[in-house]
Structure 1
Amino acid sequence: MGWKKRLTSCVLLSGTSIGIIHVVNRLVHHISTIDNLLFYKDEQYYEWRFGRIFYTKQGEGSPLLLIHDLNVTSSAYEWNKIVDALSQTNTVYTIDLLGCGRSAKPNLTYTNYLYVQLITDFIKHIIGKKTDVICTGESGSFVLMACANDNTVINKVIMVNPQSLITLAKIPTKRTKMVRHIINTPIIGTFIYNILINKRTIEDNFRFRYYYDQNKIDERSILAYFEASHKYNTRSKYLYSSIKSRYSNANIIHCLKEINNSIFIIVGNSNPENTLVASQYQNQLPSIEIVEINKTKHLPQLEMPDKFVEQVEILFEIDG
């Protein structure tokens, strides 16, 4: 076979393969979003300079902002079991972070400081007054940075199972930067993302990381997380690549030493690592109060919503 025929065969094979991968990508997007579980009839949008930000508002009283974990599968759905209870005494805002859920998912580098600006702007422009905040996982890092950057926007803070200070201090490397470039490619990158973020991997997260009692895991939550990770043509891959490349990290130890806010940490103590990480924060800022919720892991607000609300009312001194 001559080199021209070999080249033609190679081009045809490559084109066919890319075409098949593209069809698979479209099929995954269709399957993941067909149920439209994230639909919310009273949805609102904040027209932020980097894209539209989905949020909800309900209740009356002092403002309380709920910020989900910084994860491509996460969204304001994370709070759906406690919003009604908290809105009996507070004006409760939930938000889908940029790159997550129903918010815009632009092709850019998602950094910790990007979210510092988002939260600061959202509080100033939408809430309009100093607010209490509850945040999960890695989102705690940019909430603390927002406290240090501007002491007029955030009052008390509850962090739910925050990210390790050691992990947050890790910086991008040549290898992680290469990962970002690969995942950001139009078709192949989307295919890799679809392989890594699928219904089975989300189920595994719920079984081994999010919940202690697997009997409490419901299919709707898994599907909602699956939908959030693939909504808007799987453009959450841009956030995913930034997280994996460590661009969303930030060394926040200096922030802990500077802020004067009342900080609390709620820990799901069925994962011993959560308690150890909470101690890292308390070692830097001894005034931090740690509360443990038994028989829960990463998402006590979903696994034991009543216990979680009870602790929030105590820590924020809410008169229920």
Structure 2
Amino acid sequence: MKQKIKTGILMTALAVGSLHIVNRCAQAFATVKNLLDKHKGAFYDWRFGQVYYTKTGGGSPLLLVHDLAPAASSYEWDLLLKDLSANHTVYCLDLFGCGRSDKPNLTYTNYFYVQLINDFIEHVIHEKTDIIATGLSSSFVLMACSTNPDAYNKIMMINPESISNLKCTPSKRSRIIKFIMDLPIVGTAVYNMQMRRENIEYLFTEKYFYNPFSVSKKTLDIYHEAAHLDECGGKYLLSSLDGFYLNADISRALNSINNSLFILEGRKTAERERTVEGYVLLNSAVEYDFIENTEKYPQMENPQAVLEYVDMFF
């Protein structure tokens, strides 16, 4: 009996050790090209850690906030930066838990990012700013604006999350998923499986881009790398996302905002129409439009069309 227990312990140790080696190899393989250079920008020493950002151009301040996802980074805005910098001082950050910013082991929440955006504007930008935000990030930008309206001018949202989806709250099942994902070795292995390059390619070709053939190899490599920086610390953000800890009912915040708001959606679908109708219902001042032949990230798929709306709105 004792021999069986010893054998079981040894086999478990070997399995865990092997899994750890596989995790390290996955991280090394994903980051070997070093495509996300940290030396092009600077770091904001926030109270919870370092936040990477770049500052380019001159003129009125414009803050670009990428979608909140473990593989996302400020690279999302690369095709717009040169043109936007001609008329604006453009601040482009990697959200905490993403890209080149720190990715500590903690539970990420919507209000956590509300604090980040407000603090970044206060300590780095130092003046009232315009903002463009993508996806889920639009929700905490609106919440930040409602808590500190004097720091914000106009806000543009690109494919924001629907009001109904943002009302989903943590459940027993989602808490179990978060617990597993946060485990040191097993959770990292699960994360690496989800963040495989093949899965990232599937997201871009099937959900993020209208034309799957326009997705570049460089884009896939950068997203794959971003997901594995800082020893795959992006898993803590993913576990919070999967656990619905980043959702928040923004109805009251949206209703209270007096700033100019514009929603830019991808191609017109029934789902996207319902999304914008939900925002307009809560704030009749919200304007919106659609960019045909694009999906989740029109700023990457058709940057020229997005620039035209930016020039018109700001």
Question: Could you tell me the TM-score, scaled by structure 1's length?
Answer: 0.96
Equivalent residue runs for 1:217-232 within 5 Å? 217-232=215-230
- The letter for the 2-side match of 1:32 is A
Match of 1:239 in 2: 237
Q: SS in structure 1 opposite 2:115? A: helix
Shift of residue 271, structure 1, vs aligned partner:
5.1
Corresponding residue of 1:56: 54
Runs of 4+ in 1 over 6 A off after TM superposition: none
% of aligned pairs identical? 42
More displaced stretch, 271-280 vs 8-17: 271-280
Q: Confirm or deny that 1:87 pairs with 2:98.
A: no
Which residue type is aligned with residue 78 of structure 1?
Answer: E
C-alpha distance in 2, partners of 1:251/1:221? 32
1:165-220 Cα shifts (integer Å, max 9, x gaps):
11111111111111111110100010011111211111011011110011211010
Question: Post-superposition shift, 1:138?
Answer: 0.2
Structure-2 change in CA distance of 1:272 and 1:83 (3 Å): farther
Q: Which runs of 5+ in 1 are unaligned?
A: none
Q: 1:240-296, CA deviations, whole angstroms, 9 ceiling, x for partnerless residues?
A: 101110111100011111111100000001554233212211121111101111100
What is the distance in 2 between the residues matched to 1:198 and 1:174? 27
C-alpha deviation, 1:8, in angstroms: 1.1
Structure 2: which 5+ residue stretches go unaligned?
none
2:291 to 276, 280, 293: 293
Tell me what 1:38 maps to.
Answer: 36
AA aligned opposite 2:126: G
1:171 counterpart (169, 172, 186): 169
Query: 21, 25, 28: which one pairs with 2:26?
Result: 28
2:139 maps to which residue? 141
CA contact (8 A) 1:269 1:275 kept: no
Query: CA RMSD for the aligned pairs?
Result: 1.0
| Distance in 2, Cα, partners of 1:255 & 1:224 | 34
Secondary structure of residue in 2 paired with 1:200: helix
Q: Return the alpha-carbon distance in structure 1 between the equivalents of residues 178 and 216 of structure 2.
A: 32
Partners of 1:198 and 1:255 in 2: how far apart? 37
* Number of the residue aligned with 2:254: 256
Aligned to 2:187: 189
- Aligned 8 A contact 2:280 2:286 in 1: yes
Normalising by the residue count of structure 2, what TM-score does the alignment of the two structures yield?
Answer: 0.98
Counterpart residue identity of residue 111, structure 1: T
What is the CA distance between 1:106 and its match in structure 2?
0.8
Amino acid at match of 2:155: V
Q: Secondary structure at the match of 1:147?
A: helix
The letter for the 2-side match of 1:311 is Y
